[in-house]
Amino acid sequence: MDKVKAQAESAVAKGQSAVKEGQSKIDEIQAKKARDALLRDLGEAYYAAQRSGGSTTTVDEIMAKIDAADADPS
């Protein structure tokens, strides 16, 4: 009975580890998508500022968001 209990505990630990790894990977993917969206927005804002007389304030705001995201280790 002890052997079965030990195997069950081992299986649970492996399952929890796999869940943590999976969540970590999901978090990485979501962070990359968010950064990619910011970079796209930056390109659009820069283009608008250069070609359509748009405000550089938007460019500066997006740059600040990118800097903050890069500085945040989580």
Kindly give the confidence (pLDDT) of every residue in the chain, 74 residues in length, as a single tens digit, with 9 standing for 90 and above.
788 888 888 888 888 889 999 999 999 999 999 999 999 999 999 999 999 887 899 999 999 999 998 887 66
52 in Cβ contact with 69 (< 8 Å) = no
Q: What is the pTM of this model?
A: 0.70
Q: Which residues contact 66 (CB under 8 A, 6 or more apart)?
A: 35, 38, 39, 42
